[in-house]
Amino acid sequence: MRSASTYAASVVSALFASLFLLFLVAPLVGLVGAGGAAGVRQLFSDPELRGAVALTVLTATTATFFAVLGGTPLAYLLARRQFTGRALVAAILDLPLLIPHPVAGIALLLVLGRGSPLGSVLFGAGLRLTGSVFGVVCAMLFVAAPLYVAGARESFARVDRRYEAVARTLGDDAWRAFRRVTLPLSVRGLTASAIVMWARAVSEFGAIVILTYNPKVVSVLSYDRFTTFGLSGALPVAAVLVLLAILPLAALRALRGDDSTA
């Protein structure tokens, strides 16, 4: 039989957990409730919002593509190989998650801005990284890619290296063993990591607004509408941004649902 103190502790814990959940959910539910329907209507009537949504999807997808391309081998190396500087590489990968995102934008501006050596070379080659779609992609990649790498690293680490060992003794070279065994066994984790990164990229504001105010992605547009038209003007755009973030969340849940039935 449970003692009175245990019962009281359970009640207090449940109360705090409920309050915490409410704190997380209430603003989002309020936002979607207040501006969701208007936002969906505006998608059909507001070309700027429609353009911002399309740009957000395009840039977030492109950033995710590049993160998968470069981050997958890096994640594999970090999960499988012991090498000098491994801890340093892992720490560097965590940095963008720890610094304030406007600071990340300033750092990117320093390296990619037209005044920087790299920026001037790229500008000379006709590639402008600030105030352009490329700038948005760079900002999204910088702040969100570490999430993909961390998730991918976990996914690879969960695949026992002995599967690869067996594949090697069955005639596969390292690349073929990766492609035929490790990749299929970690693909769900990689997909989930890519979805998380995509959602984070969609919701990025701080770094983007430093690098590229125009063309506007949805997060920048919601800020722009807020400063121009106030809360009522920003509400529908903000609600669309939340709905956009819910889509990958639902996809992620579906993936995890598959996992639980496997």
Partner 1 sequence: MIDVNGITVRLGDFTLDDVSFTVPNGAYGVVIGPAGAGKTTLLEAIAGLLPLRAGHVRLRGADVTRLPPERRPVGLVYQHAYLFPHLTVRANVAYGAIDDAAVAESMDRFGLQLIGERDVRSLSGGERQLVALARALARRPEVLLLDEPFAALDPRRRAAVRREVRTMYFDRRCTVLHVTHDFDEAGLVGDVAVLLDKGRLLQAGDPADLFRRPANAYVASFLGAENIYAGTARPIRAASPDWVDAAVGQFAEHPLAFDTGALTLYALGDVVPGKVHAILRAEDVMLSKEAIASSVRNQFRGRVTEIVSAGALSKVTVNASGTPIVAAVTTRAVYELGLEIGREVVASFKAAAVHIC
Q: Does 181 bind partner 1 (CB under 8 A)?
A: yes
One residue of 5, 84, 169, 228 binding partner 1 per CB under 8 A: 169
By CB under 8 A, residue 171 contacts partner 1: yes
Report the residue number, 111 or 187, with the smaller CB distance to partner 1. 187
- 162 sits near partner 1 (criterion: CB under 8 A): yes
Provide the terminal-to-terminal Cα distance of the chain, rounded to the nearest Å. Answer: 38
**Which of 66, 123, 163, 226 lies at the binding interface for partner 1 (CB under 8 A)?**
163
Structure tokens at 163: 């599967």
Residue placing its CB nearer to partner 1 in the complex, 78 or 177: 177
What is the residue-wise DSSP string for 73-131? Answer: HHHHHHHH---TTHHHHHHHHHHHHHS-HHHHHHHHHHHHSTTSHHHHHHHHTT---SS
Which span (36-44, 117-125, 176-184, 225-233) binds partner 1, by CB under 8 A? 176-184
171 backbone dihedrals φ, ψ, rounded to 5°: 105, 0
Residue 131 is encoded by which pair of tokens?
């105030």
Q: Closest distance between partner 1 and the C-beta of residue 176, in Å?
A: 8
State the virtual CA torsion across 99, 103, 108, 111 in degrees, nearest 10.
-100
CB of 42 to partner 1, least distance (A): 45
Nearer Cβ to partner 1 (154/172): 172
- Interface residue with partner 1 among 90, 97, 103, 185 (CB under 8 A) is 185
Q: Is 14 in the site for partner 1 (CB under 8 A)?
A: no
Asked whether the CA dihedral 69, 71, 76, 77 is positive or negative, the reply is positive
What is the three-class DSSP state of 140?
helix
Minimum separation from the CB atom of position 185 to partner 1 (A): 6
Residues found near partner 1 in the complex (CB under 8 A): 160, 162-163, 165-174, 180-181, 184-185
